[in-house]
Amino acid sequence: MQFGQAKIEYKTNGQILKMREAGLVLAEALDTAVVAAQVGTTTAELDALFAGVLEKHGARSNFKGYHGFPATICASVNEEVVHGFPSGYVLADGDVLKIDGGAIVDGWHADSARTVIVGTADPADQRLSDVTQAAMWRGIAALANARFLGEVGDAIDEYVSAQDGEPLGILEDYVGHGIGSEMHMAPDVLNYSTGHRGPRVKPGMCLAIEPMLVRGSIETRVLDDDWTVVTTDGARASQWEHTVAVHMGGIWVLTAHDGGAAGLAPLGVTPSPLRP
């Protein structure tokens, strides 16, 4: 701790490259789980498929065993926002599933999440997921030129607030985070505006940017399993997340196969991969 705040870990280029290795394994594992997320599949089956990809590449899960968490992914359905347990739950047509997972390679972590709408999507649920995903990319794009980390939350908040139609709420109790030699590290990465600048953005920062949006109230509660977070009003939720590195040459989305090129191109930002 420094002046009452946790110290930020700044990574070397070599350490970022290790995180990229973890990020690519994680992207493949999420691809596999997303494809399998069909009507009739259980969330436990998705967990097993995800775990198999990690094992194939010799990577470890940073979720399983974390403070006693029992699985390799969080599988959160409909009003479950985050931290849901994979189980025998059978996915049904129209379910809004959030798959959140992580991987470790040689001690370095990656963390990413996607929303999947199973079967036929309710247009309002599809909009929820689309806006959440787009808000994540707005936050990542803001990081590319940000002087202070608070600009990420400002960009996300501004985008979400500008949407026409049904207002969407941005969760405030659950936010993004630093990542590196541990999964959850300083600093917090807020998804909303506070008026505070936050820490200065510097090369070597690696951050998990993960907005979570809901179709109703942002009030949540934790179920009796002490993990699963649900909306108190039963409104459906979406989560999207990428791990992003800041280095001397720019930013690099470590958990996207293309480094973030497709998501950032419409926003005028080009990711800068590091070379071994």
pLDDT at residue 130 tops 80: yes
Residue 261 CB neighbour total at 10 angstroms: 14
Q: Tell me if 257 is assigned to a ligand binding site.
A: no
Q: Tell me if 111 is assigned to a ligand binding site.
A: yes
* pLDDT for the residue 1: 31
Cα of 198 vs its chain's centroid, Å: 20
Q: Percent of the chain, pLDDT > 70?
A: 98
Q: Tell me if 241 is assigned to a ligand binding site.
A: yes
Crossing angle for the helix pair 13-36 and 43-56, to the nearest 10 degrees: 140
User: Is 151 in contact with 205 (CB distance < 8 Å)?
Assistant: no
- 2 domain-assigned: no
- Average pLDDT score over residue span 139-151: 98
* pLDDT for the residue 207: 98
On the CB side of 226, CA atoms within 13 Å amount to 4
* pLDDT for the residue 33: 98
- 8 domain-assigned: no
Whether the pTM exceeds 0.95: the reply is: yes
- 180 domain-assigned: yes
Of the pLDDT bands very low, low, confident and very high (cuts 50, 70, 90), residue 6 is: confident
* pLDDT for the residue 62: 96
Residue partners of 212: CB distance under 8 A and separation at least 6: 81, 82, 132, 170, 171, 174, 191, 237, 238, 239
Q: Tell me if 21 is assigned to a ligand binding site.
A: no
Three-state DSSP at 254 gives coil
- 272 domain-assigned: no
Q: Which two tokens stand for residue 65?
A: 């065993």
| Average pLDDT across the chain, whole number | 96
- Average pLDDT score over residue span 207-217: 98
- 19 domain-assigned: yes
pLDDT at residue 2 tops 70: no
- 274 domain-assigned: no
What is the rounded CA–CA span in Å between residue 155 and residue 141? 9
Range of 93's domain?
A: 13-267
Phi first, then psi, for residue 61 (nearest 5°) are: -80, 135
* pLDDT for the residue 5: 60
Q: Which two tokens stand for residue 14?
A: 């070599």
Q: Tell me if 177 is assigned to a ligand binding site.
A: yes
What is the rounded CA–CA span in Å between residue 78 and residue 215? 11
> Which CATH number is 58's domain given?
3.90.230.10
Three-state DSSP at 138 gives helix
* pLDDT for the residue 3: 38
pLDDT at residue 209 tops 60: yes
Of the pLDDT bands very low, low, confident and very high (cuts 50, 70, 90), residue 199 is: very high
- 5 domain-assigned: no
Q: Tell me if 100 is assigned to a ligand binding site.
A: yes
Residue partners of 64: CB distance under 8 A and separation at least 6: 51, 70, 71, 72
Split into its structural domains, the chain has a count of: 1
- Average pLDDT score over residue span 211-219: 98
- 6 domain-assigned: no
Whether the upstream peptide bond of residue 203 has omega within 30° of 0, thus cis, is: no
* pLDDT for the residue 157: 98
pLDDT at residue 107 tops 70: yes
Of the pLDDT bands very low, low, confident and very high (cuts 50, 70, 90), residue 276 is: confident
